[in-house]
A and B are shown apart, each in its own frame.
Chain A
Amino acid sequence: MFRPDPSSPISPTEQLVRRHRLHPLELLPWLAVIGTYFLLPGYLPLGSQVLIMILFALSLDLILGYAGIITLGHAAFFGVGAYTAGIYAIHVTGEPLSGLVVATVAAGIIGLISGLIILRTHGLTLLMLTLAIVFLIQETANKAGFITGGADGLQGISMQQIFGQFRFDMFGRTAYVYSAIVLFLVWLFARLLVHSPFGRSLTGIRENITRMHAIGTPVRRRLVTIYAISAALAGLAGALLTQTTQFVGLSVLSFERSGEIVIMLVLGGIGRLYGAFIGAAVFMIAKDELAKADPVFWYFWIGMLLVLVVMFARGGILGLIDQALSWVRRKS
């Protein structure tokens, strides 16, 4: 299929290997994750929330940033994962790792089914359908009170020790390390995915869908595949939230949560993996600080921020850093 350019000195395999090569800066977030554990032990509960939101934003980046699918319903999969993990812990076993797997698979299946249904459409209709799906699932969780606890949320979740060794302690140490390891594995996977030929074809679909059809890419199958993968990862994030907080409420499925995660990703910068890291961290820390001071006006600042980002900084924080760096380079 792929014909190498004869004038190019590097072979396609070499190009592929090059793309996967790790840039030293890519380790920066992980230094921050490790540093937080040792330097800020009082902030570990917030830290695990941040890690979970990074994971959620990362899953969204795969479809929004790379494949260009605009969704306002990604909380549907986060919520399915969260509820599945909770129900599994109550009715089957409190063993965490199998819970993660079950929740991921459940969210992936829901993602696959809804993706098969809604990805036939595009534009506003698609956006509306993503919203309809999240409302549909929320209504289901709300009304199926006998299994989900309805509006009161799912209570009485108790988790066993991880590997029978590490108990979820009250300082949130285990939860933090647990979330960090899961996030690290997902990051490796997502990195592999977006640099692979499959990931490149997604970018192609985002940039010019007609041309991708023309060169014979199975566009719909690719989109449904990445949608299901992304849904599964969102479910994984939801399951982590359930296991580390030992509670699930209807808010995991809300439209606000769908909106917030999009905001986090856009704030950091879409389509570059690390936007999720920086956006979720900045958003969650700002929320923790500002919402404590003034919960009503917190929403005003978010809205304002969003408008400003759209007007002046479409690449988000990382986009701004890029611009600043290229400005410095031009000057010198």
Chain B
Amino acid sequence: MDGFFAAAISILFLGVSYAMVLYIISVGLSVTMGLMGFANLAHGIFAMAGGYLTTTMMNDYGVPFGVALVFAAVAVALISVALERTLYSRLYGAGELEQVLFTIGLIFMAVAVVRYVWGPLPQRMLLPEILRGQIDLGFRVFPTYRTFLIVTSLALIAALWLGIERTNFGAQIRAAVDNRRMAESLGINTGRLFTLTFALGSGLAALGGGLGADILAVEPTYAFEYLVYFLMVVAVGGLGSIRGPFIAALFLGVGDTACKYLVPEFGAFFIFVAMIGLLLWRPNGLFGRA
């Protein structure tokens, strides 16, 4: 029985830290999809860029982890604004197929650039001394990095939710997701709002990519490999929702870890089945509106 609880706690712990990374990466996607209805499959390239920038700065230039993360997030946010203004904005009114093709094109280009610059092998994450090893939380010993990941992510998520609920900017986003035309009639500049949200979402994705570089391996096929996970978080959580994806990410993170730990011979089979089942039960996601 003891062994069972020990296993359950490890699964829960690993799953939750994985879920945090998934949520931080995907939440921006949920908002941009809800706000502009843009099927941005290329969202993962921002997380990938964050992972590459963070690991390179830490491994090659000895930049401290925290600084590297912030720098990567800001850099990626700026790049994403440039992309949004020059390319994405031309396709806002276009059909779903055009948006899908365009963003797949972006992924292909990003994969090639990354493979050209960094080579085909996954990047190693050299954690700072303080994050290696184990930490004693009183009742059990846990890996320090994962604990740090959960604590940092929770702080970030709390800040994000507070920002969305309490600030004027957050209220504008909520208004525009609810009813874009009405928000425009009230004088909210939804175009500018979207650019800012896009930058915020991409920056968060980069942060998630950097934070989780030890969990989601930073390699050229990143954006393809995890695309289905990011999309699942958003689709199951409900487009435009901020909290839905959190629940979906927890479900996916813990479920996926449990599957790989308990029934490795089936791999991710059951998690896909569960996701398909969930989406058939609620096609608009757990917290989506019809």
Enumerate chain A interface residues (CB-CB to B < 8 A).
Answer: 64, 70, 72, 117-118, 120-121, 123-125, 127-129, 131-133, 135-136, 139-140, 142-143, 255-256, 259, 262-263, 266, 296-300, 302-307, 309-311, 314
Contact = CB atoms under 8 A, between A and B. Distances in A.
Contact of A70 (B96, B267, B268): B96
A61 to B, nearest CB: 13
B262 interface: no
A313 B284 CA distance: 33
- Do most interface residues of chain B lie in helix, strand or loop, or is the interface mixed? helix
15 contacts: A120-B283, A123-B96, A124-B96, A127-B39, A128-B235, A131-B228, A132-B232, A132-B272, A133-B276, A302-B105, A303-B108, A303-B112, A309-B101, A310-B91, A310-B101
A306 B106 CA distance: 8
Interface of B: 33, 39, 87, 90-91, 94, 96-98, 100-102, 104-113, 115-116, 224, 227-228, 231-232, 234-235, 239, 265-269, 272-273, 275-276, 279-280, 283-285
A127 B227 CA distance: 12
Contact of A256 (B94, B98, B224): B224
A307 B265 contact: no
Contact of A129 (B227, B276, B285): B276
Nearest to B112: A300
Nearest to A121: B283
B105 A125 contact: no
Nearest to B116: A296
A296 B115 contact: yes
B288 to A, nearest CB: 9
Given A135-B268, A143-B266, A310-B101, A125 B283 contact: yes
B276 A299 contact: no
A214 to B, nearest CB: 20
A70 to B, nearest CB: 5
Given A124-B235, A299-B112, A303-B107, A143 B267 contact: yes
